[in-house]
Structure 1
Amino acid sequence: MDLLVQKSDFQNITQIAHHCDFEVLEQYILERQNLDLVKLLGNSFYVDVIENRENVEYKDLLDGSKFTIECGGKTKTLIHFGLKRVLIHYAYAAYIYRKSFVDTPFSVVVKQSEDSIPVSPSDLKVVHDENRKMAYSYWKMTLEYLCANEDEFSNFDETLCSGCTACKCSCGGNGCSKCKGGKTDGTRRNKVKVIKKDD
């Protein structure tokens, strides 16, 4: 299975060591990709993302972008940071919490050196939980993008859009008959303009 993120994607986002063993990090990326992302996206849409990752619409979904929606007669610009950012924080949470445990012939041990003291499991759990919360916050922003652009993604489950800003704005508010719990009655939504992320 192709990894959606590489070691370089972690730069300026999380604190991984320069000498990080990327083979170990890859295990956590793949684990979280196969569990967290599949759960968030749904199995069918996850396959679409993997297979279409080079297409423009999917690159914006993966890397993040600015986009506009029509809301109450006004144009609003929103931003999301992409599925890669979501995956990075999920993978980092697992990596930071479990990487120091090493399986040996004698048992599972914690790596340490003369000049270091291992961080307590409770402190690692705090960092783990914080990164999972960040991942989910980034996911909610990315979900706004998906809901605003659902016509571009045929296998995206639009029922996930219940209560999102893009749905409310497109429908003119919660009471609109066009939008019930995130579902549409087949009427096409206002076209959303995607603004490329600055390099």
Structure 2
Amino acid sequence: MNKLLTPEQIQTFKDIGEKIDAKKINPIIEQAQTVELKTTLGDRFYFDVLANKDNADYAPLFSGCSFTYFDINYYQDGLNSLLADYFMSKYVLQINTNFTPFGATIKLGANGEPADRNSLKDISTQQLQLAGSRWEIIRLYLNANPTLFPNWKNNIYGSESAPAGDRTFRFRKI
């Protein structure tokens, strides 16, 4: 898997604790990237981003930057921040669960108790809302730079909606 973020980089965006359990975090990063980010960017542009993750021209897209679009100054937070939001929406729902040969168990701390599942769902939904807000500005940045990101401009599903014959339903369980 060609990951765009490492657990240590996620830690700079989100409070995931001091001790990083890479065995648990890496699959969640992979899931957030291949499900949420790929769907958001569209196939063509997603694979273009993966191929150019070390390209200096793409660095502002990843880390964020200021830009002007139709004479208005904006700041976009970057794909790394967007992916961290997608990661967090999945992380809060999965992190306290351990899979054992005897089934799934919930981790109980010595001085605490697990958070209510509905509270975790609310946090997950808030992270997805934050991601949606970030994405609106990132999309403006991509639209403002069509020559820099030609695969965004030519992306089949990068526009507002897919062509009528290619529309699909997306179900999400939170």
Q: Per the shorter chain, which TM-score range? A: 0.7 to 0.9
Match of 1:177 in 2: none
Contact kept in structure 1, 2:42 and 2:158, CA below 8 Å: no
CA-based RMSD of the aligned residues comes to 1.7
Unmatched segments (≥5 aa) in structure 2: 161-174
**In the alignment, does 2:109 pair up with 1:113?**
yes
Which amino acid counterpart does residue 93 of structure 1 have in structure 2? S
Unmatched segments (≥5 aa) in structure 1: 163-199
Distance 1:158 1:147, change over 3 A: farther
Deviation at 1:23, TM superposition (A): 2.5
Match of 1:170 in 2: none
Give the TM-score normalised by structure 2.
0.83
Quote the Cα distance in structure 1 between the aligned partners of 2:21 and 2:77.
Answer: 26
Structure of greater Rg: 1
Which amino acid counterpart does residue 40 of structure 2 have in structure 1? L
Alpha-carbon displacement from aligned partner over 1:16-35 (angstroms, at most 9, x marks no partner): 11012123111111111001
Match of 2:99 in 1: 103
Aligned counterparts, 1:64-75, within 5 A: 64-69=64-69, 71=70, 75=71
Identity among equivalent positions (%) equals 27
Runs of 4+ in 1 over 3 A off after TM superposition: 158-162
Deviation at 1:102, TM superposition (A): 1.1
Give the TM-score normalised by structure 1.
0.74
Which amino acid counterpart does residue 122 of structure 1 have in structure 2? N
Match of 1:17 in 2: 17
The structure with more helix, counted as a fraction of residues: 2
Alpha-carbon displacement from aligned partner over 1:83-142 (angstroms, at most 9, x marks no partner): 111100111111111111111122211011331111011111111111111111111111
Contact kept in structure 2, 1:90 and 1:131, CA below 8 Å: yes
